[in-house]
Amino acid sequence: MKPVLLSRAKLLMAVVAMLFCSALYAEDGPLEPTWVKPDVKWAQYTKFLITPLDVSDVKLLRPPWAMDDPKEWTIEDEDLQLLQNLYRDVMKNTLEADGGYPVVHVEADDVLQVEVELLSIMPYIRPGKRETSQGQQYVTLGSGEVNAKSEFRDSQSRELLLLLEGEKTVGQEYKEHTDANIVANLEYMFGNFAARLRKAMDQVHGK
């Protein structure tokens, strides 16, 4: 039996796909590819269409140490709106900065569509609570954890090209549990995702 050899074109596509997917990994807990469509021509994409962060069905979870808290844990609509605004701004700024990749609003054959849905949020401290009963400021390693799903699609056909799912810690340092630090941790998380996405695109374009 003769060995089956990949054509030069197919080999190139396989290498490009491997580069794109491997660049999405990060040292601080990556969202690992759950599924990748074979033979995707990643190099054809030079722009991004970032859909609004989907928070329509996000679940608010309690951490194990707060299961006996008699008070209700809720997340306000304005907090969800803040999440969406931060995601939109950080993604655009990170992807486009310093000659990066344009974020557009119109489908085209060179536009990769990115859809992210937050499945659950687990804050380490009850939302709205900032101090202990003794009036001391909480200090936590990050603000909480999120479980998210990311879908990469061809913007014209809407065909699914790559799926990511996983949990992510919001923040990597010990900080006081303040509104400003919560926002900073969210910006870090979204910025890290956008930076990995940009690195993946740089890999396939040889930058």
Q: Is 29 helix (H, G, I), strand (E, B) or coil?
A: coil
State pTM to two decimals: 0.84
Radius of gyration of the chain, Cα coordinates, nearest whole angstrom: 20
pLDDT at 46: 96
Find tokens 């900032």 and name the residue. Answer: 130
Residues of the chain whose pLDDT is less than 70?
Answer: 1-32, 130-135
Burial (CB count <10 Å: 0-12, 13-18, 19+), residue 207: exposed
Residues 108 and 130 sit within 8 Å (Cβ to Cβ):
no
**pLDDT tens digit string along 8-40?**
443 334 444 444 555 555 445 545 678 889 888
- Give the pair of three-digit tokens for residue 112: 């990769």
pLDDT at 16: 42
pLDDT at 39: 85
Residues 49 and 95 sit within 8 Å (Cβ to Cβ):
no
**Cα 191 → chain centroid:** 8
Helix H, strand E, coil C: the string for 145-191 is EEEEEEEEEECCCCCEEEEEEEEEEECCCEEECCHHHHHHHHHHHHH
pLDDT at 130: 65
pLDDT at 12: 38
pLDDT at 32: 61
